[in-house]
Amino acid sequence: MQSSATEVTYVGVEKRRKGRPVGVIAKGIRVKAWRTMRALSAQHPNFTLGDILDIVATGREKDAPSNLLKYMACLERHGIITRLTRRVPGVALTSPGAVIWRLSQDLGWYAPVWRQAQKVLWNPNAQAVVPMPAGQPDGSQA
């Protein structure tokens, strides 16, 4: 049996019955990563790519580290997350260590979406494009 892009749960059925919008279960790794960043920032403000991957990656995604690194770089370019100067020490002697990020702007429950065709970051919470901070180069990848 194939699962659809949106699964309706018992709660969703009850909401539909009462005339309220039905919730959508997060399927994408970027959506799960965004919600994880928000949850982690409430408890411990700093996180690494490894922290996020440990929580959201199931092993069935295609190149999850690369996907999330591109997403986090996009969020960083738009000033939503900030890269700290210090790093978590790496395991290898020659490793520069893992980058540490901090959530600077909590845009809301829904994850910001990189729209490749328009080369903009869309904030579905505000139904608006997230502006690029002054002095930032045009973000062409994510």
Instruction: Give the pLDDT confidence of 93-103 residue by residue, as tens digits.
Output: 888 888 999 99
**In this structure, which topology does domain 22-130 adopt according to CATH?**
Arc Repressor Mutant, subunit A (1.10.10)
Three-class secondary structure of residue 141 per DSSP = coil
Confidence of residue 25 (pLDDT cuts 50, 70, 90): low
Q: What is the pTM of this model?
A: 0.74
Burial code (b: 16+ CB inside 10 Å, e: under 16) for 25-39 equals: eeeebbbbbbbbbee
pLDDT of residue 136: 64
pLDDT of residue 71: 94
In sequence order, what are the residues at sequence separation of 6 or more whose Cβ sits closer than 8 angstroms to the Cβ of residue 126?
A: 107, 108
Quote the mean pLDDT of the chain. Answer: 80
pLDDT of residue 76: 93
Residues 104 and 46 sit within 8 Å (Cβ to Cβ): no
- Residue range 105-118: mean pLDDT, rounded: 90
pLDDT of residue 82: 92
How many angstroms separate the Cα of 120 from the Cα of each of 2, 16, 73, 117, 129?
32, 33, 13, 8, 7
Domain edges within the chain: 22-130
Q: Phi-psi bin for 118: left (phi > 0), alpha (psi -120 to 50), beta?
A: alpha
- 48-87 pLDDT, tens digit each: 998 899 888 888 888 999 999 999 999 999 999 999 998 8
Taken as a whole, the chain contains a residue count of: 142
Q: Structure tokens of 12?
A: 């969703």
How many angstroms separate the Cα of 46 from the Cα of each of 1, 26, 32, 50?
40, 23, 17, 12
129, pLDDT greater than 60: yes
pLDDT of residue 57: 87
44, pLDDT greater than 90: no
